[in-house]
Structure 1
Amino acid sequence: MRRTPIIAAIAGFGLLGLGVAPGYAAPDDAQLSVFHGVPGLKVDVYVNGKLTLDDFKPGDLAGPLKLAAGTYTVAITAADAKDDSSPAIGPVDLKLAAGKNYTAAAHLTAAGKPTATLFTNDISKIAAGDGRLIVRHIAAAPAVDVLAGGKPVIKDLMNPKQAQLDLPAGTVSASVAATGTTKPVIGPADVMVTEGSDTIVYAWGSLTDKNLALGTQSIAGLGSAPAGVPTGTAEVKDGGAAQGMLVGLGALLLTGVAVFGRKLRPATNRK
Protein backbone atom coordinates (compact mmCIF):
# COMPACT_ATOMS: atom_id res chain seq x y z
CA MET A 1 0.00 0.00 0.00
CA ARG A 2 1.34 3.42 -0.96
CA ARG A 3 1.29 6.27 1.53
CA THR A 4 2.50 9.77 0.70
CA PRO A 5 1.94 12.69 3.12
CA ILE A 6 0.59 15.93 1.68
CA ILE A 7 3.00 18.02 3.75
CA ALA A 8 5.14 17.49 6.83
CA ALA A 9 2.62 19.44 8.91
CA ILE A 10 0.03 16.63 8.72
CA ALA A 11 -0.51 15.54 12.32
CA GLY A 12 -2.91 12.95 13.62
CA PHE A 13 -3.65 11.64 10.12
CA GLY A 14 -4.86 8.05 10.24
CA LEU A 15 -5.18 8.08 14.05
CA LEU A 16 -8.90 8.68 14.15
CA GLY A 17 -9.93 5.06 14.22
CA LEU A 18 -7.76 4.69 17.34
CA GLY A 19 -9.46 7.62 19.03
CA VAL A 20 -6.27 9.70 19.11
CA ALA A 21 -6.88 13.44 19.19
CA PRO A 22 -4.64 15.57 16.96
CA GLY A 23 -3.26 18.84 18.33
CA TYR A 24 -4.31 22.35 17.56
CA ALA A 25 -3.64 23.89 14.20
CA ALA A 26 -1.60 27.08 14.21
CA PRO A 27 -3.73 30.26 13.96
CA ASP A 28 -2.69 30.71 10.31
CA ASP A 29 -3.51 27.08 9.43
CA ALA A 30 -6.73 25.41 8.34
CA GLN A 31 -7.95 21.95 9.31
CA LEU A 32 -9.31 19.58 6.68
CA SER A 33 -10.99 16.20 7.08
CA VAL A 34 -12.04 13.99 4.16
CA PHE A 35 -15.13 11.76 4.11
CA HIS A 36 -15.67 9.05 1.47
CA GLY A 37 -19.37 8.69 0.76
CA VAL A 38 -19.44 7.00 -2.66
CA PRO A 39 -20.58 3.39 -2.20
CA GLY A 40 -18.80 0.52 -3.90
CA LEU A 41 -15.76 2.55 -4.95
CA LYS A 42 -12.36 2.20 -3.29
CA VAL A 43 -10.36 5.29 -4.23
CA ASP A 44 -7.06 7.09 -4.01
CA VAL A 45 -7.07 10.78 -3.11
CA TYR A 46 -4.50 13.15 -4.59
CA VAL A 47 -3.87 16.64 -3.24
CA ASN A 48 -1.80 19.00 -5.38
CA GLY A 49 -0.74 16.01 -7.47
CA LYS A 50 0.49 13.96 -4.50
CA LEU A 51 -1.07 10.72 -3.32
CA THR A 52 -2.53 11.53 0.10
CA LEU A 53 -5.00 8.72 0.80
CA ASP A 54 -4.40 5.23 -0.60
CA ASP A 55 -7.19 2.65 -0.93
CA PHE A 56 -9.69 4.93 0.82
CA LYS A 57 -12.86 2.90 1.46
CA PRO A 58 -16.52 3.99 1.43
CA GLY A 59 -17.56 5.24 4.84
CA ASP A 60 -14.01 6.17 5.85
CA LEU A 61 -13.16 9.51 7.44
CA ALA A 62 -9.60 10.83 7.57
CA GLY A 63 -8.15 13.88 9.26
CA PRO A 64 -8.05 16.54 10.34
CA LEU A 65 -5.00 17.55 8.35
CA LYS A 66 -3.37 20.80 9.43
CA LEU A 67 -2.68 22.81 6.29
CA ALA A 68 -1.43 26.28 5.54
CA ALA A 69 -4.26 28.48 4.32
CA GLY A 70 -4.56 28.51 0.54
CA THR A 71 -6.08 26.67 -2.40
CA TYR A 72 -5.58 22.92 -2.79
CA THR A 73 -6.41 20.86 -5.86
CA VAL A 74 -8.02 17.53 -5.01
CA ALA A 75 -8.53 14.65 -7.43
CA ILE A 76 -10.13 11.31 -6.56
CA THR A 77 -9.17 8.32 -8.69
CA ALA A 78 -9.87 4.62 -8.76
CA ALA A 79 -7.71 2.71 -6.28
CA ASP A 80 -4.12 2.09 -7.38
CA ALA A 81 -4.29 4.48 -10.32
CA LYS A 82 -0.83 5.37 -11.62
CA ASP A 83 -1.51 9.08 -11.13
CA ASP A 84 -4.33 11.61 -10.95
CA SER A 85 -4.65 12.16 -14.69
CA SER A 86 -8.00 10.30 -14.97
CA PRO A 87 -9.97 11.17 -11.82
CA ALA A 88 -13.37 9.71 -10.98
CA ILE A 89 -14.17 12.98 -9.17
CA GLY A 90 -12.50 16.31 -9.82
CA PRO A 91 -10.07 17.80 -9.92
CA VAL A 92 -11.67 20.40 -7.67
CA ASP A 93 -10.05 23.39 -6.03
CA LEU A 94 -10.62 23.74 -2.30
CA LYS A 95 -9.96 27.21 -0.88
CA LEU A 96 -9.08 26.92 2.81
CA ALA A 97 -9.00 29.95 5.09
CA ALA A 98 -6.80 30.35 8.15
CA GLY A 99 -8.36 29.25 11.41
CA LYS A 100 -11.25 27.40 9.73
CA ASN A 101 -12.23 23.74 9.99
CA TYR A 102 -13.50 21.90 6.89
CA THR A 103 -14.69 18.51 5.73
CA ALA A 104 -14.45 17.59 2.05
CA ALA A 105 -17.03 14.91 1.23
CA ALA A 106 -16.90 12.73 -1.87
CA HIS A 107 -20.46 11.59 -2.44
CA LEU A 108 -23.35 11.08 -4.84
CA THR A 109 -25.72 13.79 -6.01
CA ALA A 110 -29.43 13.29 -5.48
CA ALA A 111 -29.45 11.88 -9.03
CA GLY A 112 -26.67 9.42 -8.23
CA LYS A 113 -23.69 11.11 -9.91
CA PRO A 114 -20.29 11.24 -8.14
CA THR A 115 -19.35 14.70 -6.88
CA ALA A 116 -17.59 16.45 -4.01
CA THR A 117 -18.72 19.10 -1.52
CA LEU A 118 -16.62 21.20 0.85
CA PHE A 119 -18.38 21.85 4.16
CA THR A 120 -17.23 24.48 6.64
CA ASN A 121 -17.54 23.03 10.12
CA ASP A 122 -19.02 25.29 12.78
CA ILE A 123 -16.40 25.48 15.53
CA SER A 124 -17.89 28.46 17.34
CA LYS A 125 -18.22 28.16 21.08
CA ILE A 126 -21.18 26.23 22.49
CA ALA A 127 -22.94 27.37 25.65
CA ALA A 128 -22.17 25.44 28.82
CA GLY A 129 -24.35 22.33 29.07
CA ASP A 130 -25.07 22.21 25.33
CA GLY A 131 -23.84 20.25 22.34
CA ARG A 132 -24.22 20.91 18.63
CA LEU A 133 -25.89 18.49 16.18
CA ILE A 134 -25.32 18.80 12.43
CA VAL A 135 -26.73 16.49 9.77
CA ARG A 136 -25.52 16.48 6.17
CA HIS A 137 -27.56 14.90 3.42
CA ILE A 138 -25.09 13.60 0.81
CA ALA A 139 -27.04 10.53 -0.34
CA ALA A 140 -28.67 9.74 -3.66
CA ALA A 141 -32.07 10.05 -2.01
CA PRO A 142 -35.00 12.48 -1.85
CA ALA A 143 -35.52 15.17 0.76
CA VAL A 144 -36.96 14.39 4.20
CA ASP A 145 -38.80 16.17 6.99
CA VAL A 146 -37.95 15.71 10.66
CA LEU A 147 -40.98 15.28 12.91
CA ALA A 148 -41.64 16.25 16.51
CA GLY A 149 -45.00 15.21 17.91
CA GLY A 150 -46.09 14.36 14.38
CA LYS A 151 -45.25 17.84 13.08
CA PRO A 152 -42.26 18.77 10.92
CA VAL A 153 -39.61 20.88 12.64
CA ILE A 154 -37.10 20.53 9.80
CA LYS A 155 -38.50 20.63 6.28
CA ASP A 156 -37.17 19.61 2.90
CA LEU A 157 -33.59 18.70 3.83
CA MET A 158 -31.96 17.98 0.48
CA ASN A 159 -28.64 16.81 -0.92
CA PRO A 160 -26.09 18.40 -0.36
CA LYS A 161 -27.44 20.60 2.42
CA GLN A 162 -27.20 20.49 6.18
CA ALA A 163 -29.16 21.59 9.23
CA GLN A 164 -27.90 22.18 12.74
CA LEU A 165 -29.09 22.78 16.29
CA ASP A 166 -27.43 23.68 19.59
CA LEU A 167 -29.12 21.48 22.19
CA PRO A 168 -28.89 20.65 25.89
CA ALA A 169 -26.54 17.69 26.34
CA GLY A 170 -28.30 14.36 26.72
CA THR A 171 -30.43 12.01 24.66
CA VAL A 172 -32.78 13.32 22.01
CA SER A 173 -35.41 11.53 19.94
CA ALA A 174 -37.05 12.08 16.56
CA SER A 175 -39.03 10.57 13.71
CA VAL A 176 -38.72 11.26 9.98
CA ALA A 177 -41.01 11.13 7.00
CA ALA A 178 -40.81 11.79 3.29
CA THR A 179 -41.01 15.51 2.64
CA GLY A 180 -44.60 16.74 2.72
CA THR A 181 -45.91 13.77 4.71
CA THR A 182 -46.38 13.17 8.42
CA LYS A 183 -46.40 9.37 8.54
CA PRO A 184 -43.06 8.32 10.07
CA VAL A 185 -40.83 6.20 7.90
CA ILE A 186 -38.59 5.41 10.86
CA GLY A 187 -38.35 6.33 14.50
CA PRO A 188 -38.46 7.49 17.11
CA ALA A 189 -34.69 7.07 17.38
CA ASP A 190 -32.33 8.25 20.09
CA VAL A 191 -28.89 9.85 19.96
CA MET A 192 -26.54 11.21 22.62
CA VAL A 193 -25.67 14.91 22.45
CA THR A 194 -22.23 15.53 23.98
CA GLU A 195 -21.56 18.74 25.85
CA GLY A 196 -19.13 21.10 24.12
CA SER A 197 -18.90 19.04 20.90
CA ASP A 198 -20.13 19.01 17.33
CA THR A 199 -21.71 15.74 16.27
CA ILE A 200 -21.86 15.66 12.47
CA VAL A 201 -23.76 12.88 10.71
CA TYR A 202 -23.42 12.11 7.02
CA ALA A 203 -26.28 10.27 5.32
CA TRP A 204 -24.62 8.73 2.25
CA GLY A 205 -25.12 6.03 -0.35
CA SER A 206 -28.03 5.37 -2.69
CA LEU A 207 -31.67 4.75 -1.90
CA THR A 208 -32.17 3.05 -5.28
CA ASP A 209 -29.25 0.70 -4.73
CA LYS A 210 -30.32 0.06 -1.12
CA ASN A 211 -26.90 0.85 0.32
CA LEU A 212 -27.66 3.96 2.36
CA ALA A 213 -25.46 4.29 5.43
CA LEU A 214 -24.30 6.73 8.08
CA GLY A 215 -20.94 8.30 8.86
CA THR A 216 -20.33 10.29 12.04
CA GLN A 217 -17.71 12.93 12.74
CA SER A 218 -17.23 14.64 16.10
CA ILE A 219 -15.33 17.81 16.94
CA ALA A 220 -14.68 18.28 20.64
CA GLY A 221 -13.42 21.17 22.75
CA LEU A 222 -16.02 23.74 21.69
CA GLY A 223 -17.46 24.38 25.13
CA SER A 224 -16.14 26.33 28.07
CA ALA A 225 -13.13 24.04 28.56
CA PRO A 226 -9.75 25.66 29.32
CA ALA A 227 -7.46 26.59 26.46
CA GLY A 228 -5.44 23.66 25.15
CA VAL A 229 -8.26 21.14 24.91
CA PRO A 230 -8.11 19.37 21.50
CA THR A 231 -10.75 20.45 19.01
CA GLY A 232 -10.56 17.87 16.26
CA THR A 233 -11.29 14.30 17.32
CA ALA A 234 -13.33 12.31 14.85
CA GLU A 235 -14.75 8.87 14.31
CA VAL A 236 -16.85 7.01 11.75
CA LYS A 237 -19.85 4.81 12.40
CA ASP A 238 -21.68 3.05 9.58
CA GLY A 239 -25.39 2.42 9.77
CA GLY A 240 -27.60 0.05 7.83
CA ALA A 241 -29.22 0.85 4.47
CA ALA A 242 -32.29 3.09 4.21
CA GLN A 243 -33.25 2.69 7.83
CA GLY A 244 -29.86 3.92 8.97
CA MET A 245 -30.00 7.02 6.82
CA LEU A 246 -33.43 8.02 8.01
CA VAL A 247 -32.64 7.29 11.65
CA GLY A 248 -29.60 9.54 11.41
CA LEU A 249 -31.46 12.37 9.74
CA GLY A 250 -34.29 12.25 12.23
CA ALA A 251 -32.45 11.45 15.42
CA LEU A 252 -29.92 14.21 15.17
CA LEU A 253 -32.19 17.18 14.61
CA LEU A 254 -34.78 17.08 17.35
CA THR A 255 -35.01 17.83 21.00
CA GLY A 256 -38.62 18.95 21.38
CA VAL A 257 -40.25 15.55 21.87
CA ALA A 258 -42.59 15.64 24.83
CA VAL A 259 -40.96 12.74 26.62
CA PHE A 260 -37.91 14.91 27.23
CA GLY A 261 -39.81 18.18 27.73
CA ARG A 262 -37.07 20.20 26.03
CA LYS A 263 -37.52 23.36 24.00
CA LEU A 264 -36.42 23.13 20.37
CA ARG A 265 -34.28 25.95 19.03
CA PRO A 266 -34.63 26.94 15.38
CA ALA A 267 -32.57 24.89 12.98
CA THR A 268 -30.43 26.35 10.26
CA ASN A 269 -30.51 24.73 6.81
CA ARG A 270 -27.53 25.55 4.67
CA LYS A 271 -24.76 24.12 2.57
Structure 2
Amino acid sequence: MLKSLKIGMAAAAVGAVVTLGGIAPAQAADDVAMLSVLHGVPDLTVDVYVNDKLTLDDFKPGDLAGPLELAPGTYTVAITASDAADASKPAIGPVDLPLEAGKNYTAAAHLDEAGKPTATLFTNDISQLAAGEGRLTVRHVAAAPAVDVLADGAAAITNLVNPKESVLTLPAGTISAAVAATGTTDPVIGPADVNVAEGTNTLVYAWGSLADKNLALAVQTIGGLHSSPEGVPAGEAGLVATNQPSDSTGLFVGGAAVLMGLVAAAALGLRRLAGARR
Protein backbone atom coordinates (compact mmCIF):
# COMPACT_ATOMS: atom_id res chain seq x y z
CA MET A 1 0.00 0.00 0.00
CA LEU A 2 1.49 3.31 -1.03
CA LYS A 3 2.32 5.88 1.65
CA SER A 4 3.85 8.50 -0.59
CA LEU A 5 3.15 9.55 -4.14
CA LYS A 6 5.79 8.96 -6.78
CA ILE A 7 6.19 12.10 -8.83
CA GLY A 8 7.17 10.85 -12.23
CA MET A 9 6.25 10.82 -15.90
CA ALA A 10 5.30 8.38 -18.73
CA ALA A 11 4.56 7.22 -22.46
CA ALA A 12 2.40 6.24 -25.55
CA ALA A 13 0.51 7.96 -28.38
CA VAL A 14 -2.75 8.57 -30.30
CA GLY A 15 -5.48 11.29 -30.29
CA ALA A 16 -9.11 12.54 -30.50
CA VAL A 17 -11.10 13.92 -27.57
CA VAL A 18 -14.54 14.93 -26.32
CA THR A 19 -14.75 18.44 -24.81
CA LEU A 20 -16.10 18.55 -21.26
CA GLY A 21 -18.16 21.70 -21.62
CA GLY A 22 -18.72 23.68 -18.46
CA ILE A 23 -16.05 21.90 -16.43
CA ALA A 24 -12.95 23.87 -17.41
CA PRO A 25 -12.94 27.54 -16.37
CA ALA A 26 -12.64 30.18 -19.09
CA GLN A 27 -9.11 30.85 -17.87
CA ALA A 28 -6.82 29.38 -15.24
CA ALA A 29 -6.26 31.86 -12.41
CA ASP A 30 -2.81 32.26 -10.85
CA ASP A 31 -4.15 31.70 -7.33
CA VAL A 32 -5.61 28.22 -7.88
CA ALA A 33 -4.33 24.80 -8.96
CA MET A 34 -5.91 22.77 -11.75
CA LEU A 35 -6.22 19.00 -11.18
CA SER A 36 -7.38 16.20 -13.47
CA VAL A 37 -7.63 12.55 -12.39
CA LEU A 38 -6.97 9.56 -14.68
CA HIS A 39 -8.02 5.99 -13.82
CA GLY A 40 -5.53 3.68 -15.53
CA VAL A 41 -5.92 0.43 -13.56
CA PRO A 42 -7.67 -2.21 -15.71
CA ASP A 43 -10.66 -4.22 -14.50
CA LEU A 44 -11.10 -2.20 -11.31
CA THR A 45 -13.98 0.20 -10.75
CA VAL A 46 -13.07 2.42 -7.79
CA ASP A 47 -14.19 5.21 -5.51
CA VAL A 48 -11.86 8.15 -4.95
CA TYR A 49 -11.75 9.87 -1.56
CA VAL A 50 -10.17 13.29 -1.10
CA ASN A 51 -9.45 14.24 2.52
CA ASP A 52 -11.69 11.30 3.58
CA LYS A 53 -14.65 12.56 1.53
CA LEU A 54 -16.08 10.56 -1.37
CA THR A 55 -15.32 12.62 -4.47
CA LEU A 56 -15.49 10.24 -7.46
CA ASP A 57 -18.01 7.40 -7.23
CA ASP A 58 -17.72 4.27 -9.42
CA PHE A 59 -14.75 5.68 -11.36
CA LYS A 60 -14.10 3.34 -14.30
CA PRO A 61 -10.84 2.33 -16.04
CA GLY A 62 -9.92 4.82 -18.77
CA ASP A 63 -11.98 7.65 -17.29
CA LEU A 64 -10.45 11.12 -16.98
CA ALA A 65 -12.15 13.59 -14.62
CA GLY A 66 -11.53 17.32 -14.54
CA PRO A 67 -9.94 19.75 -14.70
CA LEU A 68 -10.97 20.77 -11.19
CA GLU A 69 -10.13 24.19 -9.79
CA LEU A 70 -8.69 23.81 -6.27
CA ALA A 71 -7.15 26.04 -3.65
CA PRO A 72 -3.39 25.38 -3.34
CA GLY A 73 -2.37 22.99 -0.59
CA THR A 74 -1.86 19.29 0.10
CA TYR A 75 -4.77 16.93 -0.55
CA THR A 76 -4.84 13.37 0.76
CA VAL A 77 -6.25 10.92 -1.77
CA ALA A 78 -7.30 7.31 -1.17
CA ILE A 79 -8.60 4.97 -3.87
CA THR A 80 -10.89 2.16 -2.71
CA ALA A 81 -13.03 -0.59 -4.17
CA SER A 82 -16.29 0.81 -5.52
CA ASP A 83 -18.38 -0.72 -2.74
CA ALA A 84 -16.18 0.46 0.17
CA ALA A 85 -18.01 2.08 3.07
CA ASP A 86 -15.21 4.60 3.63
CA ALA A 87 -11.53 5.28 2.88
CA SER A 88 -10.12 3.13 5.71
CA LYS A 89 -9.00 0.23 3.44
CA PRO A 90 -7.70 1.77 0.22
CA ALA A 91 -6.45 -0.22 -2.76
CA ILE A 92 -4.05 2.65 -3.51
CA GLY A 93 -2.92 5.21 -0.95
CA PRO A 94 -3.52 7.20 1.00
CA VAL A 95 -1.20 9.50 -0.96
CA ASP A 96 -0.57 13.21 -0.58
CA LEU A 97 -0.95 15.54 -3.57
CA PRO A 98 0.92 18.83 -3.04
CA LEU A 99 -0.71 21.34 -5.40
CA GLU A 100 0.77 24.79 -6.07
CA ALA A 101 -1.09 27.86 -7.25
CA GLY A 102 -0.88 28.56 -10.97
CA LYS A 103 0.11 24.99 -11.89
CA ASN A 104 -1.75 22.28 -13.79
CA TYR A 105 -1.62 18.62 -12.68
CA THR A 106 -2.88 15.19 -13.58
CA ALA A 107 -3.01 12.48 -10.90
CA ALA A 108 -2.91 9.02 -12.49
CA ALA A 109 -3.82 5.77 -10.76
CA HIS A 110 -2.12 3.06 -12.81
CA LEU A 111 0.01 -0.09 -12.81
CA ASP A 112 3.76 -0.02 -12.36
CA GLU A 113 5.99 -2.02 -14.72
CA ALA A 114 5.55 -5.13 -12.55
CA GLY A 115 1.74 -4.82 -12.65
CA LYS A 116 1.13 -3.49 -9.13
CA PRO A 117 -1.31 -0.59 -8.57
CA THR A 118 0.41 2.72 -7.89
CA ALA A 119 -0.13 6.44 -8.40
CA THR A 120 1.79 9.24 -10.06
CA LEU A 121 1.31 13.00 -9.94
CA PHE A 122 2.26 14.69 -13.21
CA THR A 123 2.86 18.42 -13.59
CA ASN A 124 1.51 19.45 -17.00
CA ASP A 125 3.54 21.85 -19.15
CA ILE A 126 1.42 24.97 -19.68
CA SER A 127 4.21 27.23 -20.93
CA GLN A 128 3.43 29.30 -24.01
CA LEU A 129 4.00 28.00 -27.53
CA ALA A 130 5.15 29.91 -30.58
CA ALA A 131 2.71 30.58 -33.40
CA GLY A 132 2.12 27.48 -35.52
CA GLU A 133 3.39 25.05 -32.86
CA GLY A 134 1.76 22.43 -30.65
CA ARG A 135 3.05 20.29 -27.80
CA LEU A 136 2.81 16.48 -27.59
CA THR A 137 3.35 14.82 -24.19
CA VAL A 138 3.52 11.02 -24.08
CA ARG A 139 3.33 9.18 -20.75
CA HIS A 140 4.03 5.52 -19.99
CA VAL A 141 1.76 4.30 -17.18
CA ALA A 142 1.32 0.70 -18.33
CA ALA A 143 2.55 -2.62 -16.97
CA ALA A 144 4.98 -2.99 -19.84
CA PRO A 145 8.72 -2.69 -20.48
CA ALA A 146 10.38 0.28 -22.16
CA VAL A 147 8.78 1.49 -25.39
CA ASP A 148 9.53 3.61 -28.42
CA VAL A 149 7.00 6.06 -29.81
CA LEU A 150 6.92 6.06 -33.60
CA ALA A 151 5.88 9.15 -35.58
CA ASP A 152 5.19 8.53 -39.26
CA GLY A 153 7.05 5.21 -38.94
CA ALA A 154 10.24 6.59 -37.36
CA ALA A 155 11.21 6.52 -33.67
CA ALA A 156 10.51 9.98 -32.23
CA ILE A 157 10.91 8.89 -28.58
CA THR A 158 13.06 5.94 -27.49
CA ASN A 159 13.43 3.79 -24.37
CA LEU A 160 10.56 5.37 -22.43
CA VAL A 161 9.88 3.55 -19.14
CA ASN A 162 7.06 3.53 -16.60
CA PRO A 163 6.33 6.09 -15.12
CA LYS A 164 8.23 8.59 -17.30
CA GLU A 165 7.18 11.11 -19.94
CA SER A 166 8.63 12.77 -22.99
CA VAL A 167 7.54 16.17 -24.30
CA LEU A 168 7.86 17.24 -27.94
CA THR A 169 7.25 20.63 -29.54
CA LEU A 170 6.04 20.08 -33.10
CA PRO A 171 4.58 22.03 -36.01
CA ALA A 172 0.79 21.91 -35.82
CA GLY A 173 -0.64 19.12 -37.96
CA THR A 174 -1.46 15.42 -37.99
CA ILE A 175 1.06 12.63 -37.48
CA SER A 176 0.67 8.86 -37.60
CA ALA A 177 1.74 7.56 -34.19
CA ALA A 178 2.28 4.12 -32.72
CA VAL A 179 3.88 2.51 -29.66
CA ALA A 180 6.36 -0.35 -30.02
CA ALA A 181 8.75 -2.25 -27.78
CA THR A 182 12.08 -0.43 -27.63
CA GLY A 183 14.26 -1.18 -30.63
CA THR A 184 11.38 -2.54 -32.73
CA THR A 185 8.87 -1.09 -35.17
CA ASP A 186 6.05 -3.60 -34.63
CA PRO A 187 3.27 -1.60 -32.87
CA VAL A 188 1.72 -2.86 -29.65
CA ILE A 189 -0.66 0.13 -29.78
CA GLY A 190 -1.70 1.97 -32.94
CA PRO A 191 -0.86 3.26 -35.46
CA ALA A 192 -3.42 6.05 -35.39
CA ASP A 193 -3.59 9.69 -36.36
CA VAL A 194 -2.67 12.26 -33.69
CA ASN A 195 -3.76 15.85 -34.15
CA VAL A 196 -1.07 18.19 -32.81
CA ALA A 197 -3.16 21.34 -32.43
CA GLU A 198 -1.66 24.81 -32.45
CA GLY A 199 -1.35 26.32 -28.96
CA THR A 200 -2.33 23.04 -27.29
CA ASN A 201 -0.58 20.45 -25.14
CA THR A 202 -1.92 17.04 -26.21
CA LEU A 203 -1.16 14.48 -23.49
CA VAL A 204 -1.37 10.78 -24.36
CA TYR A 205 -1.25 8.00 -21.78
CA ALA A 206 -0.50 4.32 -22.45
CA TRP A 207 -2.10 2.31 -19.65
CA GLY A 208 -3.13 -1.26 -18.93
CA SER A 209 -1.07 -4.46 -19.05
CA LEU A 210 0.94 -5.98 -21.88
CA ALA A 211 0.77 -9.46 -20.29
CA ASP A 212 -3.01 -9.28 -19.93
CA LYS A 213 -3.39 -7.90 -23.48
CA ASN A 214 -5.47 -4.91 -22.39
CA LEU A 215 -3.15 -2.04 -23.29
CA ALA A 216 -5.13 1.09 -24.03
CA LEU A 217 -4.76 4.83 -24.56
CA ALA A 218 -6.27 7.91 -22.97
CA VAL A 219 -5.94 11.47 -24.25
CA GLN A 220 -6.07 14.82 -22.47
CA THR A 221 -5.68 18.28 -24.00
CA ILE A 222 -4.77 21.64 -22.50
CA GLY A 223 -5.46 24.56 -24.82
CA GLY A 224 -4.92 28.31 -24.75
CA LEU A 225 -1.12 28.11 -24.80
CA HIS A 226 -0.65 30.60 -27.64
CA SER A 227 2.14 33.14 -27.29
CA SER A 228 -0.20 36.15 -27.49
CA PRO A 229 -0.49 38.21 -24.27
CA GLU A 230 -4.08 37.05 -23.85
CA GLY A 231 -3.18 33.39 -24.20
CA VAL A 232 -3.95 31.45 -20.99
CA PRO A 233 -4.23 27.74 -20.25
CA ALA A 234 -7.92 26.95 -20.53
CA GLY A 235 -9.79 23.93 -21.90
CA GLU A 236 -8.97 20.32 -21.18
CA ALA A 237 -10.65 17.16 -22.35
CA GLY A 238 -10.42 13.40 -22.14
CA LEU A 239 -12.42 10.22 -22.51
CA VAL A 240 -12.44 6.47 -22.27
CA ALA A 241 -9.98 4.79 -24.62
CA THR A 242 -10.20 1.19 -25.78
CA ASN A 243 -7.70 -1.33 -27.10
CA GLN A 244 -8.55 -1.33 -30.81
CA PRO A 245 -5.26 -0.57 -32.58
CA SER A 246 -6.66 -1.22 -36.06
CA ASP A 247 -9.39 1.43 -35.73
CA SER A 248 -8.14 4.88 -34.76
CA THR A 249 -11.68 6.31 -34.67
CA GLY A 250 -12.97 3.63 -32.32
CA LEU A 251 -10.13 4.26 -29.88
CA PHE A 252 -11.70 7.40 -28.51
CA VAL A 253 -15.45 7.62 -29.11
CA GLY A 254 -16.89 5.12 -26.63
CA GLY A 255 -18.25 6.07 -23.20
CA ALA A 256 -18.34 9.84 -23.65
CA ALA A 257 -21.87 10.37 -22.33
CA VAL A 258 -21.18 8.37 -19.17
CA LEU A 259 -17.97 10.30 -18.54
CA MET A 260 -19.69 13.67 -19.00
CA GLY A 261 -22.09 12.93 -16.15
CA LEU A 262 -19.35 11.50 -13.95
CA VAL A 263 -17.07 14.48 -14.43
CA ALA A 264 -19.86 16.95 -13.68
CA ALA A 265 -20.52 15.20 -10.37
CA ALA A 266 -16.82 15.00 -9.59
CA ALA A 267 -16.28 18.69 -10.31
CA LEU A 268 -19.14 19.67 -8.01
CA GLY A 269 -17.78 17.51 -5.19
CA LEU A 270 -14.22 18.81 -5.39
CA ARG A 271 -15.31 22.43 -5.77
CA ARG A 272 -17.32 22.09 -2.57
CA LEU A 273 -14.28 20.55 -0.89
CA ALA A 274 -12.06 23.33 -2.17
CA GLY A 275 -14.49 25.93 -0.85
CA ALA A 276 -14.45 24.35 2.57
CA ARG A 277 -10.64 24.53 2.69
CA ARG A 278 -10.45 28.23 1.80
Question: Structure 1 stretches of 5 or more lacking a match?
Answer: 1-14, 249-271
In structure 2, what is the equivalent of residue 6 of structure 1? Answer: none
What is the alpha-carbon distance in structure 2 between the residues aligned to residue 94 and residue 210 of structure 1? 31
| Superposed CA RMSD | 2.6
Deviation at 1:141, TM superposition (A): 1.0
Counterpart residue identity of residue 216, structure 1: V
Residue type of the alignment partner of 2:46 = V
Map residues 60-209 of structure 1 onto 2, 5 A cutoff. 60-147=63-150, 152-182=155-185, 189-209=192-212
Is contact 1:177–1:185 with CA below 8 Å preserved after alignment? yes
Please list the CA deviations of residues 99-155 of structure 1 after superposition, one character each: whole Å capped at 9, or x if unmatched: 000000000001100000000000000111111101111011111123468764422
The number of residues matched between the two structures is 232
Picking from 36, 42, 49, the partner of 1:33 is 36
Residues 223, 179 of structure 1: alpha-carbon distance in 2 compared, 3 angstrom cutoff: same
Give 1:173 shift.
2.6
Give the gaps of 5 or more residues in structure 2. 1-17, 252-278
AA at the equivalent of 1:41 = L
Q: Conserved in 2, the CA contact under 8 Å of 1:45 and 1:77?
A: yes
Q: Offset of 1:32 from its aligned partner? A: 0.6
Contact 2:150 / 2:156 at 8 angstroms: preserved in 1?
yes
Match of 1:234, SS state, is strand
CA 1:39/1:182 → structure 2, altered by over 3 Å: closer, same or farther? closer
Deviation at 1:25, TM superposition (A): 3.7
Give TM-score scaled by structure 2 length: 0.75
The answer as to 2:54 corresponding to 1:55 is no
- Cα displacement (A) at 1:70: 0.9
Equivalent-residue separation in structure 2 for 1:181 and 1:163 (angstroms): 18
Find the aligned partners of 2:159 and 2:212 in 1 and give their Cα distance: 22
Partner of 2:214: 211
**Deviation digits for residues 141-183 of structure 1 (CA, Å, limit 9, x no counterpart):** 1111234687644221111111111111111134543213355
- Matches of 1:108 and 1:169 in 2, distance apart? 32
Q: Aligned letter for 1:219? A: I
Separation of aligned partners in 2, 1:57 and 1:157: 26
| CA offset digits 1:195-227 (Å, max 9, x no partner) | 100110111111111111111000110113563
- Percent identity over the alignment? 70
CA contact (8 A) 1:74 1:92 kept: yes
Greater C-alpha Rg: 1
CA distance in 1, matches of 2:103, 2:165: 18
Q: Which runs of 4+ in 1 moved over 2 A?
A: 15-26, 146-153, 173-177, 180-190, 224-230, 241-245
**Quick check: 1:139–1:203 contact (8 Å CA) kept in 2?**
yes
Higher relative contact order at CA 8 Å, sep ≥6: structure 1 or structure 2?
Answer: 2
Change (3 A) 1:138 1:227: same
Shift, 1:236, TM fit? 1.6
Partner of 2:264: none
Give the TM-score normalised by the residue count of structure 1: 0.77
Distance 2:22 2:215 in 1: 25
2-side partners of 1:79 and 1:187: how far apart?
A: 31
Which letter maps to 1:134? T
- C-alpha separation between the residues in 2 aligned to 1:96 and 1:23? 20
d(CA) in 1 for partners of 2:206, 2:240: 11
